[in-house]
């Protein structure tokens, strides 16, 4: 984009091509147009970029690199000035970004909880003994096995629609999805059961959409300011700081959720073994400020790492390697 105020120059928003990713990008586009009189739908373009993670459908993403698989090509396009900003699900973002890029905007967070989906039972706990549960998330796997060690867990990959098709085809008797994604797709009625946070603490940053920009592009940052939700930014900052402290990735069953209560930020965080038999959990609070939130997440991460001990991480890595071979 040559000039932020130009009515002729096209502003380009980069995104993945899944229905959910497109819905999130369209939401950002609509918000930008509503916030600025000089922008119209005609001069804001959504650019679909296929990522490595979208191409890998035949094996677990842990075998190929983890979180960055859903962002690298988009970030490359952003750095090359082929797009002006990028819309992401915050939980897909690595904790370390490429030089020259930043997450400066977080939309107001959707419902961060998980939902259980099944064609045969109404509640997760009602799955029959030894039932097949489909999920690609190590966190959800660990949390499910913590409550139901009898279940057989198989890898379920793909976007929301693909996973629902697999469920309908009988490849598993149940699966999990994020309620935020269903809500954004207008499919909230598809959820069989919304899972309590007490049993299924969400992934760090789940339900929050973020916009990534070049740190040198002050004009784009100004355009995006009206979309920013400070409460979401504070909460997600704490959760991502916790994730960073544990070097969290797709290879680690980690959960965290922060929320504001008045002028205080409350954070609950977990680290689990792959089979759910070990759970390390901490809670904490701080003033609802970005810097304090980052410190809180870092501190809780350090405390959980100390409680777990390095032997736990060694054994976790060994268990995961054996699982994905």
- CATH number, domain containing residue 253: 3.30.160.40
Instruction: Identify which of 91, 201, 204 has the alpha carbon closest to the alpha carbon of residue 147.
Output: 201
pLDDT of residue 77: 97
Residue 297: inside a domain: yes
Verify that 79 and 213 share a domain, yes or no: yes
Q: Is residue 199 part of a domain?
A: no
- The answer to whether residue 248 sits within a structural domain is yes
- 316 domain residue, yes or no: yes
Tell me how many domains the chain contains: 3
Is 92 in the same domain as 4? yes
Mean pLDDT of the chain, nearest integer: 91
Task: Return d(Cα 135, Cα 61) in angstroms, integer.
Answer: 12
The pLDDT, as a whole number, for residue 55 is 60
On whether both 154 and 29 belong to a single domain, the answer is: no
Same-domain status, 218 and 243: no
Domain match, 140 and 66 both:
no
Q: Which of 23, 217, 16, 182 is nearest to 107 (CA)?
A: 23
Residues 241 and 274 in one domain: yes
Task: Give the per-residue pLDDT at 64.
Answer: 47
Of 98-102, 114-118, 188-192, the one with minimum mean pLDDT is: 188-192
Question: Residue 25: which domain range?
Answer: 1-108+208-228
Percentage of the chain surpassing pLDDT 90?
79
Examine the domain organization and report whether 104 and 212 are in the same domain.
yes
Same domain, 150 and 188: yes
Check whether residue 165 and residue 44 sit in a common domain: no
Q: Are residues 7 and 77 in the same domain?
A: yes
Backbone angles phi, psi at 207, to 5 degrees: 90, -5
Residue 216 sits in the same domain as residue 101:
yes
The pLDDT of residue 52: 74
Q: Return the CATH number at 91.
A: 3.40.190.10
Report if residue 201 sits inside a domain. Answer: no
pLDDT tens digits along 65-103: 555 677 999 999 999 999 999 999 999 899 999 999 999
Catalytic positions are 92
Residue 202 lies in a domain: no
Q: Does residue 203 lie within any of the structural domains?
A: no
Q: Is the pLDDT of residue 6 over 50?
A: no
Same domain, 104 and 129: no
pLDDT tens digits, one per residue of 146-181: 999 999 999 887 788 888 889 889 999 999 999 999
The torsion angles phi and psi of 267, rounded to 5 degrees, stand at: -125, 130
pTM over 0.75: yes
Q: Work out whether strand 174-178 and strand 114-117 pair parallel, antiparallel, or are unpaired.
A: antiparallel
Three-state DSSP class for 274?
A: coil
pLDDT over threshold 70, residue 109: yes
Q: What does DSSP assign to residue 91?
A: G
Q: Note whether residue 188 is domain-resident.
A: yes
Residue 37 CA to residue 32 CA, distance in Å, equals 9
Q: Which of 69, 23, 77 is nearest to 49 (CA)?
A: 77
């Amino acid at each position: 984009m040559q000039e932020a105020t130009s009515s002729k120059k096209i502003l380009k928003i980069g995104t993945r091509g899944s229905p959910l990713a497109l819905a999130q990008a369209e939401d950002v586009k609509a918000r930008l147009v509503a916030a600025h009189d000089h922008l119209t739908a005609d001069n804001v373009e959504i650019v679909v970029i296929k990522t490595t993670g979208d191409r890998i459908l035949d094996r677990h993403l842990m075998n190929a690199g983890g979180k960055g698989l859903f962002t690298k090509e988009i970030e490359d396009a952003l750095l090359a000035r082929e797009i002006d900003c990028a819309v992401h699900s915050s939980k897909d973002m690595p904790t370390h970004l490429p030089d020259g890029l930043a997450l400066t905007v977080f939309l107001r967070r959707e419902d961060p909880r998980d939902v259980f989906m099944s064609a045969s039972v109404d509640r997760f706990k009602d799955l029959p003994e030894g039932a097949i549960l489909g999920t690609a998330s190590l966190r959800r796997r660990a949390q499910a096995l913590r409550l139901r060690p009898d279940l057989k867990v198989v890898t379920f990959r793909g976007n929301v629609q693909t996973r629902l098709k697999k469920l309908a085809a009988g490849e598993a008797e149940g699966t999990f999805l994020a309620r935020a994604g269903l809500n954004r797709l207008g499919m909230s009625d598809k959820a069989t059961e919304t899972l309590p946070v007490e049993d299924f603490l969400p992934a760090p940053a789940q339900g929050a959409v973020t916009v990534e920009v070049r740190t040198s592009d002050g004009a784009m940052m100004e355009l995006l300011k009206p979309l920013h939700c400070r409460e979401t930014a504070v909460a997600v900052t704490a959760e991502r700081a916790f994730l960073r402290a544990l070097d969290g990735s797709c290879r680690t069953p980690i959960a965290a959720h922060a929320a504001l209560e008045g002028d205080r930020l409350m954070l609950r965080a977990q680290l689990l073994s792959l089979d759910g038999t070990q759970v390390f959990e901490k809670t904490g609070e701080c003033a609802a400020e970005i810097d304090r939130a980052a410190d809180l997440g870092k501190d809780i991460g350090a405390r959980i790492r100390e409680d777990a001990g390095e032997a736990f991480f060694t054994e976790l890595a060994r268990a995961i390697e054996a699982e994905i071979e």
